[in-house]
Amino acid sequence: MTTFVLVHGAWHGAWCWQPLVDSLGRVGAVSEAPDLPGHGDDQTPIDQLTLADYADAVAAVLRSADEPVVLVGHSLGGLVISEAAERVPEKVSTLVYLCALMLSDGESPFDVMGSDPEAELLTSVVPSSDGLAITVDPAAVAGLFYADCQPPVQAWATARLAAEPIGPPMTPVHVTATRWGSLPRSYIVCTQDRAISPDQQQAMIDRTGVDSVVRIDASHSPFLSKPDDLASALIDIANRGSGM
């Protein structure tokens, strides 16, 4: 049976995946959504957290799996799944980038986001007074992340966001052709996304290459706004990868 490991993006936690976990469960799929260090229920202090810390945490989850998993990364979580897959490619059957940062070796998130004139995220980021973390302007959150969600969902999710350590978004990814590059990759484009524009998502697809592309008419968080559609897309990707 296919297992999905779901890796959240910046400011979020495992909590954001719950509607998708429920949707996958209703069709008999198994999923696991870990908190990255310093996020959700994980109380690790964020002041010195690194991309390596994130990747090591996900790699530990993968090592505990009985069989290779479908590894899904959202937004900044794309960077994390790339690094985790580089560590333990034998534990990954397919990589899925959900409106995520799918970068080539040596690229950093700020390299890519800075070249995306349509994205609104960078202009909405607020650094902490000590320069160790970043948050998002509360007035911009709903439009950036949850534009197609109902207002109660927008309020629920916005209230749960946490500060993001500055290190991971500034760090270039390190991946190799023989490990990360050997794995099947799929990309799910969210066509209403205002955090990472659809054009930038397509540019990453064109530059890095994938085995399949799925488009969902959703904003940046389809796991909240369209979990059933997203579950169906993920199962189709998994079945395609297994030859079913």
What's the pTM? 0.96
- What mean pLDDT is reported for the chain? 94
Is 122 or 65 the better-scoring residue by pLDDT? Answer: 65
Would you name the residues annotated as active-site residues? 75, 193, 220
CATH number listed for the domain at residues 3-242: 3.40.50.1820
- pLDDT at residue 200 greater than cutoff 60: yes
- Residue 115 predicted with pLDDT over 90: no
Q: How open is the CA angle 172-175-180, to the nearest 5 degrees?
A: 145
Query: Which 8-state DSSP code applies to residue 32?
Result: E
- The answer, yes or no, to whether residue 64 has pLDDT greater than 90, is yes
DSSP string, 41-89: T----STT--HHHHHHHHHHHHHT-SS-EEEEEETTHHHHHHHHHHH-G
Domain edges within the chain = 3-242
The answer, yes or no, to whether residue 105 has pLDDT greater than 80, is yes
Q: What is the mean pLDDT of residues 197-205?
A: 94
In whole angstroms, how far apart are CA 163 and each of 56, 76, 115, 120?
20, 14, 24, 18
Report residue 2's pLDDT band, with 50, 70 and 90 as the boundaries.
Answer: confident
State the distance between the two ends of the chain, measured CA to CA, in whole angstroms.
12
- Average the pLDDT over each of 7-16, 80-89, 118-127 and give the range with the smallest value: 118-127
Task: Identify any residues that bridge with 214 across adjacent strands, giving them in sequence order.
Answer: 188
* 242: confidence class by pLDDT, cuts 50, 70, 90: low
- pLDDT at residue 196, as a whole number: 93
